[in-house]
Structure 1
Amino acid sequence: MAELPIIDVSALRSELEEGNPDLQKLCNQVKEAVQQWGAFRVVNHGVEQELLNAVDSVSRDLFNLPPQVKERAVNLPLDGYSKGISLSIGEVMCIPAVPPSDSLQQYAHKFWPEGNSEFWEHKDLGVITILYNDQVGGLQMRTKQDEWFSVKPLASSFTVIIADALKMWSNDRCWSVEHRVAYEGKNPRLSIGFFWKFLKEKEVCIPEELIDEHHPRRYRPFLFKDYVNHQVKGDPLDIFL
Protein backbone atom coordinates (compact mmCIF):
# COMPACT_ATOMS: atom_id res chain seq x y z
CA MET A 1 0.00 0.00 0.00
CA ALA A 2 1.30 3.44 -0.94
CA GLU A 3 2.52 5.67 1.87
CA LEU A 4 3.98 9.18 1.76
CA PRO A 5 7.68 9.55 2.59
CA ILE A 6 8.35 10.70 6.16
CA ILE A 7 11.33 13.06 6.35
CA ASP A 8 13.13 14.05 9.53
CA VAL A 9 14.06 17.72 9.11
CA SER A 10 15.88 18.15 12.42
CA ALA A 11 19.10 18.77 10.45
CA LEU A 12 17.68 22.14 9.36
CA ARG A 13 17.65 23.24 12.98
CA SER A 14 21.44 22.91 13.20
CA GLU A 15 24.15 25.01 11.61
CA LEU A 16 25.33 22.68 8.86
CA GLU A 17 27.84 23.63 6.20
CA GLU A 18 27.20 22.97 2.54
CA GLY A 19 28.32 19.46 1.70
CA ASN A 20 27.55 18.10 5.16
CA PRO A 21 26.35 14.47 4.66
CA ASP A 22 23.31 14.98 6.91
CA LEU A 23 22.22 18.01 4.93
CA GLN A 24 22.91 16.27 1.63
CA LYS A 25 20.86 13.27 2.72
CA LEU A 26 17.95 15.53 3.62
CA CYS A 27 18.14 17.35 0.27
CA ASN A 28 18.14 14.05 -1.61
CA GLN A 29 15.11 12.84 0.34
CA VAL A 30 13.16 16.02 -0.43
CA LYS A 31 14.19 15.92 -4.10
CA GLU A 32 13.02 12.34 -4.52
CA ALA A 33 9.76 13.03 -2.68
CA VAL A 34 8.77 16.07 -4.77
CA GLN A 35 9.68 14.30 -8.01
CA GLN A 36 7.99 10.97 -7.31
CA TRP A 37 5.17 11.85 -4.92
CA GLY A 38 4.54 15.57 -5.07
CA ALA A 39 4.24 15.54 -1.28
CA PHE A 40 5.92 14.35 1.89
CA ARG A 41 5.50 14.52 5.63
CA VAL A 42 7.96 16.18 7.99
CA VAL A 43 8.74 15.27 11.59
CA ASN A 44 11.05 16.83 14.17
CA HIS A 45 10.30 20.23 12.65
CA GLY A 46 10.69 22.15 15.89
CA VAL A 47 7.13 23.45 16.21
CA GLU A 48 6.16 22.86 19.83
CA GLN A 49 3.23 20.61 20.58
CA GLU A 50 1.75 23.27 22.86
CA LEU A 51 1.49 25.62 19.88
CA LEU A 52 -0.13 22.95 17.72
CA ASN A 53 -2.64 22.24 20.47
CA ALA A 54 -3.45 25.95 20.81
CA VAL A 55 -3.96 26.39 17.05
CA ASP A 56 -6.17 23.31 16.95
CA SER A 57 -8.24 24.57 19.88
CA VAL A 58 -8.84 28.11 18.63
CA SER A 59 -9.70 26.81 15.15
CA ARG A 60 -12.38 24.54 16.58
CA ASP A 61 -13.72 27.47 18.60
CA LEU A 62 -14.04 29.40 15.35
CA PHE A 63 -16.03 26.72 13.54
CA ASN A 64 -18.23 26.14 16.59
CA LEU A 65 -19.55 29.70 16.36
CA PRO A 66 -23.21 30.09 15.26
CA PRO A 67 -23.72 30.08 11.45
CA GLN A 68 -24.96 33.67 11.44
CA VAL A 69 -21.71 34.77 13.08
CA LYS A 70 -19.44 32.87 10.66
CA GLU A 71 -21.38 34.25 7.71
CA ARG A 72 -20.22 37.77 8.62
CA ALA A 73 -16.96 36.84 6.88
CA VAL A 74 -18.38 35.53 3.60
CA ASN A 75 -16.13 36.89 0.84
CA LEU A 76 -15.60 34.35 -1.92
CA PRO A 77 -13.78 33.05 -3.84
CA LEU A 78 -10.35 33.23 -2.21
CA ASP A 79 -10.89 34.26 1.39
CA GLY A 80 -13.49 34.35 4.10
CA TYR A 81 -16.04 31.78 5.22
CA SER A 82 -17.76 29.28 2.96
CA LYS A 83 -19.72 26.07 3.34
CA GLY A 84 -20.44 23.28 0.92
CA ILE A 85 -18.27 24.61 -1.90
CA SER A 86 -17.11 22.21 -4.59
CA LEU A 87 -13.47 22.26 -3.52
CA SER A 88 -14.02 20.91 -0.03
CA ILE A 89 -16.22 19.00 2.33
CA GLY A 90 -17.83 20.82 5.23
CA GLU A 91 -16.76 24.35 6.13
CA VAL A 92 -13.79 26.45 5.09
CA MET A 93 -12.34 29.62 6.58
CA CYS A 94 -9.57 31.34 4.61
CA ILE A 95 -7.79 34.20 6.37
CA PRO A 96 -5.92 36.65 4.08
CA ALA A 97 -2.19 36.93 4.60
CA VAL A 98 -1.76 40.12 6.60
CA PRO A 99 0.92 41.19 9.08
CA PRO A 100 0.16 41.28 12.81
CA SER A 101 -1.69 44.57 12.67
CA ASP A 102 -5.08 46.24 13.00
CA SER A 103 -6.11 44.50 9.76
CA LEU A 104 -6.12 41.08 11.38
CA GLN A 105 -7.81 42.43 14.50
CA GLN A 106 -10.59 43.89 12.36
CA TYR A 107 -11.02 40.55 10.61
CA ALA A 108 -11.32 38.71 13.94
CA HIS A 109 -13.76 41.35 15.16
CA LYS A 110 -16.32 39.99 12.68
CA PHE A 111 -16.61 36.89 14.84
CA TRP A 112 -15.79 38.15 18.31
CA PRO A 113 -16.90 41.79 18.70
CA GLU A 114 -15.70 41.64 22.29
CA GLY A 115 -12.25 40.48 21.13
CA ASN A 116 -10.30 37.20 21.06
CA SER A 117 -6.58 37.48 21.72
CA GLU A 118 -5.98 33.80 20.87
CA PHE A 119 -7.17 34.09 17.26
CA TRP A 120 -4.01 34.38 15.05
CA GLU A 121 -4.25 32.35 11.80
CA HIS A 122 -3.35 33.52 8.19
CA LYS A 123 -3.50 31.60 4.89
CA ASP A 124 -2.32 32.15 1.33
CA LEU A 125 -3.28 30.60 -1.94
CA GLY A 126 0.09 29.23 -2.95
CA VAL A 127 2.30 26.80 -4.76
CA ILE A 128 3.46 24.97 -1.63
CA THR A 129 1.05 23.96 1.10
CA ILE A 130 2.09 23.02 4.61
CA LEU A 131 -0.83 21.09 6.00
CA TYR A 132 -1.77 20.30 9.58
CA ASN A 133 -4.31 17.51 10.04
CA ASP A 134 -5.82 16.22 13.23
CA GLN A 135 -5.94 12.50 14.06
CA VAL A 136 -9.30 11.88 12.39
CA GLY A 137 -7.89 11.17 8.91
CA GLY A 138 -9.61 11.43 5.54
CA LEU A 139 -6.87 12.95 3.34
CA GLN A 140 -6.25 11.00 0.14
CA MET A 141 -3.73 11.44 -2.68
CA ARG A 142 -3.37 10.07 -6.19
CA THR A 143 -0.11 8.39 -7.22
CA LYS A 144 1.56 8.71 -10.61
CA GLN A 145 0.11 5.26 -11.29
CA ASP A 146 -3.38 6.80 -10.95
CA GLU A 147 -4.17 5.03 -7.67
CA TRP A 148 -5.76 6.77 -4.68
CA PHE A 149 -4.37 6.08 -1.22
CA SER A 150 -5.14 7.35 2.26
CA VAL A 151 -2.63 9.44 4.18
CA LYS A 152 -2.60 7.96 7.67
CA PRO A 153 -2.67 10.43 10.58
CA LEU A 154 0.76 11.00 12.09
CA ALA A 155 0.88 12.95 15.34
CA SER A 156 2.98 16.16 15.41
CA SER A 157 3.74 16.01 11.69
CA PHE A 158 3.10 18.34 8.78
CA THR A 159 2.30 17.38 5.20
CA VAL A 160 4.05 19.37 2.47
CA ILE A 161 2.17 19.41 -0.85
CA ILE A 162 3.51 20.62 -4.19
CA ALA A 163 0.97 22.51 -6.33
CA ASP A 164 0.65 23.30 -10.03
CA ALA A 165 2.39 26.66 -10.12
CA LEU A 166 5.57 25.21 -8.62
CA LYS A 167 5.36 22.30 -11.05
CA MET A 168 5.26 24.84 -13.88
CA TRP A 169 8.09 26.96 -12.46
CA SER A 170 10.28 23.86 -12.09
CA ASN A 171 9.67 22.91 -15.74
CA ASP A 172 7.79 19.82 -14.57
CA ARG A 173 10.74 18.62 -12.46
CA CYS A 174 8.37 18.64 -9.46
CA TRP A 175 5.21 16.57 -9.42
CA SER A 176 1.93 18.26 -8.53
CA VAL A 177 -0.14 15.75 -6.58
CA GLU A 178 -3.91 15.54 -6.82
CA HIS A 179 -5.56 15.16 -3.43
CA ARG A 180 -9.00 15.08 -1.86
CA VAL A 181 -10.85 14.47 1.38
CA ALA A 182 -12.92 11.30 1.69
CA TYR A 183 -14.47 11.21 5.14
CA GLU A 184 -17.83 9.88 6.22
CA GLY A 185 -17.29 9.73 9.97
CA LYS A 186 -19.29 11.53 12.62
CA ASN A 187 -16.42 13.21 14.48
CA PRO A 188 -15.44 16.74 13.35
CA ARG A 189 -12.35 16.77 11.14
CA LEU A 190 -9.93 19.72 11.25
CA SER A 191 -7.37 20.57 8.58
CA ILE A 192 -5.29 23.77 8.50
CA GLY A 193 -3.27 24.80 5.46
CA PHE A 194 -0.47 27.36 5.28
CA PHE A 195 0.16 28.48 1.70
CA TRP A 196 3.15 30.03 -0.06
CA LYS A 197 2.65 31.82 -3.36
CA PHE A 198 4.42 33.88 -5.95
CA LEU A 199 3.68 37.60 -5.81
CA LYS A 200 0.70 38.38 -8.04
CA GLU A 201 2.44 41.04 -10.12
CA LYS A 202 5.68 39.12 -10.54
CA GLU A 203 6.54 37.17 -13.66
CA VAL A 204 7.04 33.44 -13.18
CA CYS A 205 9.82 32.24 -15.46
CA ILE A 206 11.51 28.84 -15.56
CA PRO A 207 15.17 29.14 -14.45
CA GLU A 208 17.61 28.54 -17.30
CA GLU A 209 19.43 25.82 -15.35
CA LEU A 210 16.25 23.72 -15.42
CA ILE A 211 16.12 23.77 -19.23
CA ASP A 212 18.23 21.37 -21.31
CA GLU A 213 17.91 18.93 -24.20
CA HIS A 214 16.17 16.39 -21.98
CA HIS A 215 13.94 19.02 -20.37
CA PRO A 216 12.89 21.60 -23.01
CA ARG A 217 10.94 24.63 -21.87
CA ARG A 218 7.37 23.53 -21.08
CA TYR A 219 5.77 26.88 -20.16
CA ARG A 220 6.17 30.44 -21.28
CA PRO A 221 6.68 33.20 -18.67
CA PHE A 222 3.45 34.37 -17.04
CA LEU A 223 2.17 36.63 -14.30
CA PHE A 224 1.05 34.67 -11.26
CA LYS A 225 -2.15 36.73 -10.98
CA ASP A 226 -3.15 35.62 -14.50
CA TYR A 227 -2.61 32.02 -13.54
CA VAL A 228 -4.71 32.43 -10.38
CA ASN A 229 -7.53 34.11 -12.29
CA HIS A 230 -7.63 31.30 -14.83
CA GLN A 231 -7.67 28.66 -12.11
CA VAL A 232 -10.47 30.36 -10.17
CA LYS A 233 -12.63 30.77 -13.29
CA GLY A 234 -11.90 27.26 -14.50
CA ASP A 235 -10.57 28.58 -17.82
CA PRO A 236 -8.20 26.47 -19.98
CA LEU A 237 -4.52 26.94 -19.13
CA ASP A 238 -3.35 26.64 -22.74
CA ILE A 239 -2.15 30.25 -22.76
CA PHE A 240 0.73 29.26 -20.45
CA LEU A 241 2.07 26.48 -22.69
Structure 2
Amino acid sequence: MATGVPLIDLQDFPSQSQKLIEACEELGCFRIINHQIPITLMSEMKSVVRSLLDLPMEIKRRNTDAIAGSGYVAPSKANPHYEGLGLYDLGSADAVQAFCTQLDASPQQRETILRYSQAIHELAMEIGRKLAQSMGLAGDLFMGWPCQFRINKYNFTPETVGSSGVQIHTDSGFLTILQEDENVGGLEVMEKKSGAFIAVDPSPGTLLVNLGDIATVWSNGRFCNVRHRVQCKEATIRVSIAMFVLGPEAAAVEAPPELADSEHPRLYVPITFEDYRKLRLSTGLRAGEALELLRTPNS
Protein backbone atom coordinates (compact mmCIF):
# COMPACT_ATOMS: atom_id res chain seq x y z
CA MET A 1 0.00 0.00 0.00
CA ALA A 2 1.24 3.49 -0.83
CA THR A 3 2.02 5.66 2.20
CA GLY A 4 -0.78 8.06 2.97
CA VAL A 5 -3.37 6.57 0.60
CA PRO A 6 -6.16 4.84 2.58
CA LEU A 7 -7.04 1.25 1.71
CA ILE A 8 -10.78 0.46 1.46
CA ASP A 9 -12.06 -3.13 1.48
CA LEU A 10 -15.23 -3.15 -0.61
CA GLN A 11 -16.37 -6.43 0.96
CA ASP A 12 -16.23 -5.00 4.48
CA PHE A 13 -19.19 -2.63 4.65
CA PRO A 14 -20.73 -0.97 6.58
CA SER A 15 -17.72 -1.21 8.94
CA GLN A 16 -15.57 0.64 6.36
CA SER A 17 -18.08 3.49 5.94
CA GLN A 18 -16.38 5.94 8.30
CA LYS A 19 -12.96 5.20 6.81
CA LEU A 20 -14.36 5.79 3.31
CA ILE A 21 -15.85 9.18 4.20
CA GLU A 22 -12.67 10.27 5.97
CA ALA A 23 -10.64 9.33 2.87
CA CYS A 24 -13.02 11.40 0.70
CA GLU A 25 -12.83 14.39 3.02
CA GLU A 26 -9.13 14.42 3.89
CA LEU A 27 -7.31 13.31 0.73
CA GLY A 28 -9.91 12.71 -2.00
CA CYS A 29 -8.11 9.53 -2.96
CA PHE A 30 -8.22 5.91 -1.80
CA ARG A 31 -7.23 2.46 -2.97
CA ILE A 32 -9.77 -0.37 -3.15
CA ILE A 33 -9.31 -4.09 -2.63
CA ASN A 34 -11.79 -6.95 -3.04
CA HIS A 35 -13.40 -5.15 -5.97
CA GLN A 36 -14.47 -8.32 -7.80
CA ILE A 37 -12.69 -7.54 -11.09
CA PRO A 38 -10.54 -10.60 -11.87
CA ILE A 39 -6.78 -10.06 -12.02
CA THR A 40 -6.77 -11.99 -15.30
CA LEU A 41 -9.24 -9.53 -16.87
CA MET A 42 -7.16 -6.56 -15.66
CA SER A 43 -4.06 -8.13 -17.21
CA GLU A 44 -5.83 -8.92 -20.51
CA MET A 45 -7.17 -5.36 -20.69
CA LYS A 46 -3.71 -3.89 -20.17
CA SER A 47 -2.41 -5.98 -23.09
CA VAL A 48 -5.26 -4.76 -25.31
CA VAL A 49 -4.60 -1.15 -24.27
CA ARG A 50 -0.92 -1.39 -25.17
CA SER A 51 -1.73 -2.84 -28.58
CA LEU A 52 -4.38 -0.17 -29.31
CA LEU A 53 -1.99 2.63 -28.37
CA ASP A 54 0.66 1.12 -30.66
CA LEU A 55 -1.68 1.39 -33.68
CA PRO A 56 -0.71 3.66 -36.58
CA MET A 57 -1.64 7.30 -36.08
CA GLU A 58 -4.20 7.26 -38.91
CA ILE A 59 -6.19 4.55 -37.10
CA LYS A 60 -5.94 6.20 -33.67
CA ARG A 61 -7.24 9.46 -35.15
CA ARG A 62 -10.50 7.68 -36.09
CA ASN A 63 -11.24 7.77 -32.33
CA THR A 64 -13.14 11.06 -32.59
CA ASP A 65 -14.73 13.15 -29.83
CA ALA A 66 -18.30 12.63 -28.66
CA ILE A 67 -17.78 15.57 -26.29
CA ALA A 68 -14.64 17.73 -26.36
CA GLY A 69 -11.63 15.76 -25.21
CA SER A 70 -13.35 12.36 -25.27
CA GLY A 71 -11.52 10.91 -28.29
CA TYR A 72 -7.88 10.49 -29.27
CA VAL A 73 -5.47 12.95 -27.67
CA ALA A 74 -2.11 13.27 -29.41
CA PRO A 75 1.08 14.46 -27.71
CA SER A 76 0.96 18.25 -27.27
CA LYS A 77 3.19 21.10 -26.26
CA ALA A 78 1.68 21.04 -22.74
CA ASN A 79 1.94 17.24 -22.39
CA PRO A 80 4.49 16.11 -25.00
CA HIS A 81 5.01 12.61 -23.58
CA TYR A 82 1.34 11.72 -23.26
CA GLU A 83 -1.26 10.31 -25.64
CA GLY A 84 -4.60 8.64 -25.03
CA LEU A 85 -7.70 7.09 -26.53
CA GLY A 86 -11.18 7.76 -25.18
CA LEU A 87 -14.74 6.50 -25.12
CA TYR A 88 -17.73 8.55 -23.99
CA ASP A 89 -20.59 6.73 -22.24
CA LEU A 90 -18.95 3.50 -21.11
CA GLY A 91 -22.30 2.24 -19.81
CA SER A 92 -23.64 2.00 -23.38
CA ALA A 93 -22.82 -1.30 -25.11
CA ASP A 94 -23.40 0.43 -28.47
CA ALA A 95 -20.84 3.13 -27.62
CA VAL A 96 -18.32 0.48 -26.61
CA GLN A 97 -18.89 -1.42 -29.86
CA ALA A 98 -18.49 1.79 -31.87
CA PHE A 99 -15.17 2.51 -30.09
CA CYS A 100 -13.93 -1.00 -30.98
CA THR A 101 -14.98 -0.54 -34.60
CA GLN A 102 -13.19 2.82 -34.88
CA LEU A 103 -9.92 1.10 -33.91
CA ASP A 104 -10.37 -2.13 -35.93
CA ALA A 105 -10.32 -4.17 -32.72
CA SER A 106 -10.07 -7.92 -33.25
CA PRO A 107 -12.90 -10.15 -31.96
CA GLN A 108 -10.75 -11.15 -28.98
CA GLN A 109 -9.84 -7.53 -28.18
CA ARG A 110 -13.48 -6.50 -28.56
CA GLU A 111 -14.60 -9.18 -26.11
CA THR A 112 -11.99 -8.11 -23.55
CA ILE A 113 -12.97 -4.43 -23.86
CA LEU A 114 -16.68 -5.29 -23.48
CA ARG A 115 -16.09 -7.48 -20.42
CA TYR A 116 -13.80 -4.94 -18.77
CA SER A 117 -16.05 -1.96 -19.48
CA GLN A 118 -19.06 -3.79 -18.05
CA ALA A 119 -17.13 -4.85 -14.94
CA ILE A 120 -15.67 -1.40 -14.24
CA HIS A 121 -19.07 0.25 -14.81
CA GLU A 122 -20.71 -2.12 -12.33
CA LEU A 123 -17.92 -1.33 -9.87
CA ALA A 124 -18.54 2.41 -10.25
CA MET A 125 -22.23 1.92 -9.47
CA GLU A 126 -21.30 -0.11 -6.38
CA ILE A 127 -18.94 2.62 -5.15
CA GLY A 128 -21.75 5.14 -5.66
CA ARG A 129 -24.08 3.06 -3.50
CA LYS A 130 -21.41 2.66 -0.79
CA LEU A 131 -20.73 6.41 -0.79
CA ALA A 132 -24.42 7.29 -0.52
CA GLN A 133 -25.02 4.76 2.27
CA SER A 134 -21.94 5.96 4.14
CA MET A 135 -23.34 9.51 4.02
CA GLY A 136 -26.70 8.29 5.35
CA LEU A 137 -28.45 8.64 1.99
CA ALA A 138 -30.59 6.13 0.12
CA GLY A 139 -30.54 5.11 -3.54
CA ASP A 140 -28.06 4.61 -6.36
CA LEU A 141 -25.99 7.77 -6.49
CA PHE A 142 -24.54 7.30 -10.00
CA MET A 143 -27.47 5.60 -11.71
CA GLY A 144 -27.79 6.82 -15.30
CA TRP A 145 -24.75 9.09 -15.13
CA PRO A 146 -22.51 9.03 -18.22
CA CYS A 147 -19.07 7.54 -17.68
CA GLN A 148 -16.00 8.24 -19.77
CA PHE A 149 -13.23 5.77 -20.47
CA ARG A 150 -9.66 6.85 -21.20
CA ILE A 151 -6.61 4.70 -21.87
CA ASN A 152 -3.31 6.48 -21.42
CA LYS A 153 0.25 6.02 -22.62
CA TYR A 154 3.31 7.92 -21.43
CA ASN A 155 6.33 7.68 -23.70
CA PHE A 156 9.13 8.28 -21.20
CA THR A 157 12.76 8.37 -22.41
CA PRO A 158 16.11 8.91 -20.63
CA GLU A 159 15.83 12.62 -21.50
CA THR A 160 12.41 12.97 -19.83
CA VAL A 161 13.32 11.51 -16.41
CA GLY A 162 12.41 14.09 -13.77
CA SER A 163 9.99 15.96 -16.03
CA SER A 164 6.20 16.10 -15.95
CA GLY A 165 4.10 13.51 -17.81
CA VAL A 166 0.83 15.34 -17.11
CA GLN A 167 0.46 18.77 -15.49
CA ILE A 168 -1.14 19.30 -12.08
CA HIS A 169 -4.93 19.05 -12.42
CA THR A 170 -8.12 17.85 -10.80
CA ASP A 171 -10.64 15.68 -12.61
CA SER A 172 -13.80 17.52 -13.62
CA GLY A 173 -16.28 14.72 -12.84
CA PHE A 174 -17.31 13.02 -9.60
CA LEU A 175 -14.72 10.28 -9.40
CA THR A 176 -12.16 8.35 -11.39
CA ILE A 177 -11.34 4.65 -11.07
CA LEU A 178 -7.77 4.05 -12.17
CA GLN A 179 -6.01 0.83 -13.07
CA GLU A 180 -2.39 1.90 -12.78
CA ASP A 181 0.62 0.43 -14.52
CA GLU A 182 1.65 -2.20 -11.97
CA ASN A 183 5.31 -1.88 -12.99
CA VAL A 184 5.82 1.86 -13.43
CA GLY A 185 5.03 4.56 -10.88
CA GLY A 186 4.85 8.31 -11.36
CA LEU A 187 1.39 9.31 -10.11
CA GLU A 188 1.47 11.84 -7.28
CA VAL A 189 -1.47 13.29 -5.30
CA MET A 190 -1.48 16.50 -3.29
CA GLU A 191 -2.26 16.53 0.42
CA LYS A 192 -4.98 19.09 1.11
CA LYS A 193 -3.52 20.38 4.39
CA SER A 194 0.19 20.55 3.57
CA GLY A 195 0.12 21.03 -0.20
CA ALA A 196 2.85 18.39 -0.43
CA PHE A 197 2.74 15.68 -3.09
CA ILE A 198 2.50 12.01 -2.09
CA ALA A 199 3.91 9.41 -4.47
CA VAL A 200 1.26 6.78 -5.22
CA ASP A 201 3.26 3.63 -5.77
CA PRO A 202 1.71 0.82 -7.85
CA SER A 203 -0.08 -1.94 -5.96
CA PRO A 204 -0.92 -4.84 -8.31
CA GLY A 205 -4.50 -6.10 -8.22
CA THR A 206 -5.89 -2.97 -6.57
CA LEU A 207 -7.64 0.03 -8.12
CA LEU A 208 -7.19 3.68 -7.22
CA VAL A 209 -10.11 6.10 -6.84
CA ASN A 210 -9.67 9.90 -7.16
CA LEU A 211 -12.45 12.37 -6.42
CA GLY A 212 -13.05 15.29 -8.80
CA ASP A 213 -14.69 18.72 -8.78
CA ILE A 214 -18.28 17.49 -9.11
CA ALA A 215 -17.83 15.47 -5.89
CA THR A 216 -16.93 18.70 -4.08
CA VAL A 217 -20.09 20.41 -5.38
CA TRP A 218 -22.33 17.42 -4.58
CA SER A 219 -20.95 17.02 -1.06
CA ASN A 220 -21.34 20.75 -0.30
CA GLY A 221 -17.60 21.15 0.02
CA ARG A 222 -16.99 18.13 2.26
CA PHE A 223 -15.22 15.95 -0.30
CA CYS A 224 -11.73 16.85 -1.49
CA ASN A 225 -11.14 17.14 -5.25
CA VAL A 226 -7.61 15.80 -5.21
CA ARG A 227 -4.95 17.59 -7.27
CA HIS A 228 -2.63 15.16 -8.97
CA ARG A 229 0.10 14.87 -11.61
CA VAL A 230 2.25 12.26 -13.33
CA GLN A 231 6.03 12.54 -13.07
CA CYS A 232 8.52 10.64 -15.20
CA LYS A 233 10.43 8.36 -12.83
CA GLU A 234 12.15 6.10 -15.35
CA ALA A 235 12.80 5.77 -19.07
CA THR A 236 10.03 3.40 -20.07
CA ILE A 237 6.45 3.30 -21.35
CA ARG A 238 3.77 3.73 -18.68
CA VAL A 239 0.17 2.69 -19.37
CA SER A 240 -2.93 3.41 -17.30
CA ILE A 241 -6.66 2.76 -17.69
CA ALA A 242 -9.08 5.35 -16.29
CA MET A 243 -12.86 5.39 -15.97
CA PHE A 244 -14.50 8.71 -15.08
CA VAL A 245 -17.95 8.95 -13.48
CA LEU A 246 -18.90 12.40 -14.78
CA GLY A 247 -22.24 13.74 -13.52
CA PRO A 248 -25.97 13.53 -14.22
CA GLU A 249 -26.74 13.66 -17.95
CA ALA A 250 -29.08 16.66 -17.80
CA ALA A 251 -29.89 17.50 -14.17
CA ALA A 252 -27.88 20.12 -12.30
CA VAL A 253 -25.48 18.91 -9.61
CA GLU A 254 -26.19 20.26 -6.14
CA ALA A 255 -25.85 19.02 -2.58
CA PRO A 256 -28.74 16.80 -1.43
CA PRO A 257 -30.98 18.44 1.21
CA GLU A 258 -29.41 16.20 3.86
CA LEU A 259 -26.01 17.83 3.26
CA ALA A 260 -27.16 21.46 3.27
CA ASP A 261 -28.93 23.19 6.16
CA SER A 262 -28.78 26.41 8.20
CA GLU A 263 -25.51 25.31 9.78
CA HIS A 264 -24.10 24.16 6.43
CA PRO A 265 -25.45 26.58 3.79
CA ARG A 266 -25.01 25.69 0.14
CA LEU A 267 -21.51 26.63 -1.00
CA TYR A 268 -22.06 26.25 -4.75
CA VAL A 269 -24.77 27.20 -7.20
CA PRO A 270 -26.33 24.21 -9.04
CA ILE A 271 -24.65 23.46 -12.36
CA THR A 272 -24.87 20.70 -14.94
CA PHE A 273 -21.74 18.68 -15.65
CA GLU A 274 -21.76 19.86 -19.26
CA ASP A 275 -21.83 23.53 -18.23
CA TYR A 276 -19.11 22.94 -15.68
CA ARG A 277 -16.93 21.15 -18.26
CA LYS A 278 -17.35 24.10 -20.63
CA LEU A 279 -16.47 26.51 -17.80
CA ARG A 280 -13.20 24.68 -17.17
CA LEU A 281 -12.36 24.65 -20.87
CA SER A 282 -13.17 28.34 -21.43
CA THR A 283 -11.28 29.58 -18.37
CA GLY A 284 -8.34 27.19 -18.60
CA LEU A 285 -8.73 26.54 -14.87
CA ARG A 286 -7.88 22.84 -14.65
CA ALA A 287 -6.87 22.34 -11.01
CA GLY A 288 -10.15 22.95 -9.20
CA GLU A 289 -9.99 26.76 -9.29
CA ALA A 290 -13.11 26.93 -11.47
CA LEU A 291 -15.18 25.91 -8.43
CA GLU A 292 -14.55 29.36 -6.95
CA LEU A 293 -16.62 30.79 -9.81
CA LEU A 294 -19.61 28.73 -8.58
CA ARG A 295 -19.56 30.03 -5.02
CA THR A 296 -22.91 31.18 -3.62
CA PRO A 297 -23.13 34.73 -2.23
CA ASN A 298 -23.35 33.47 1.37
CA SER A 299 -20.39 31.10 1.19
Aligned to 1:161: 210
Instruction: Report the alpha carbon displacement of residue 171 of structure 1 after superposing the two structures with TM.
Output: 0.5
Aligned equivalents of 1:180, 1:238: Cα separation in 2: 21
Query: Are the aligned partners of 2:173 and 2:213 in contact in 1 as well (CA < 8 Å)?
Result: no
Query: Are the aligned partners of 1:9 and 1:42 in contact in 2 as well (CA < 8 Å)?
Result: yes
Percent pairwise identity: 28
Report the TM-score, using the length of structure 1 for normalisation: 0.85
Q: Structure 1 residues 88, 5: closer, same or farther in 2, change over 3 A?
A: farther
Report the TM-score, using the length of structure 2 for normalisation: 0.69
| 1:150 lines up with 2:142 in the alignment | no
Aligned equivalents of 1:37, 1:214: Cα separation in 2: 24
Aligned equivalents of 1:47, 1:72: Cα separation in 2: 29
Tell me the secondary structure at the aligned position of residue 185 of structure 2: coil
Paired residues for 1:1-241 under 5 Å: 2-11=3-12, 23-75=13-65, 77-85=68-76, 86=78, 89-98=81-90, 99-101=92-94, 103-112=95-104, 115-119=106-110, 120=113, 124=148, 126-135=173-182, 136-144=184-192, 145-234=194-283, 237=291, 239-241=293-295
Query: RCO higher in 1 or 2 (8 Å CA, sep ≥ 6)?
Result: 2
> Over aligned residue pairs, what C-alpha RMSD do you find?
2.3
Query: Are the aligned partners of 2:177 and 2:244 in contact in 1 as well (CA < 8 Å)?
Result: yes
Q: Structure 1 residues 167, 88: closer, same or farther in 2, change over 3 A?
A: farther
Q: Structure 1 residues 87, 237: closer, same or farther in 2, change over 3 A?
A: farther
Tell me the secondary structure at the aligned position of residue 227 of structure 1: helix
Aligned residue pairs, count = 228
Larger Rg: 1
Q: Structure 1 residues 89, 166: closer, same or farther in 2, change over 3 A?
A: farther
Instruction: Report the alpha carbon displacement of residue 2 of structure 1 after superposing the two structures with TM.
Output: 4.8
Aligned equivalents of 2:180, 2:39: Cα separation in 1: 13
Instruction: Report the alpha carbon displacement of residue 192 of structure 1 after superposing the two structures with TM.
Output: 0.8
Q: CA offsets per residue over residues 118-144 of structure 1, 9 Å max, x none?
A: 232665173111111012111000001
Structure 1 residue runs without a partner (length 5+): 12-22
Farther off after superposition, 75-84 or 161-170? 75-84
Residue identity opposite 1:180 in structure 2: R
Query: Are the aligned partners of 1:10 and 1:46 in contact in 2 as well (CA < 8 Å)?
Result: no
Instruction: Report the alpha carbon displacement of residue 195 of structure 1 after superposing the two structures with TM.
Output: 1.2
Aligned equivalents of 1:55, 1:152: Cα separation in 2: 20
Instruction: Report the alpha carbon displacement of residue 184 of structure 1 after superposing the two structures with TM.
Output: 4.3
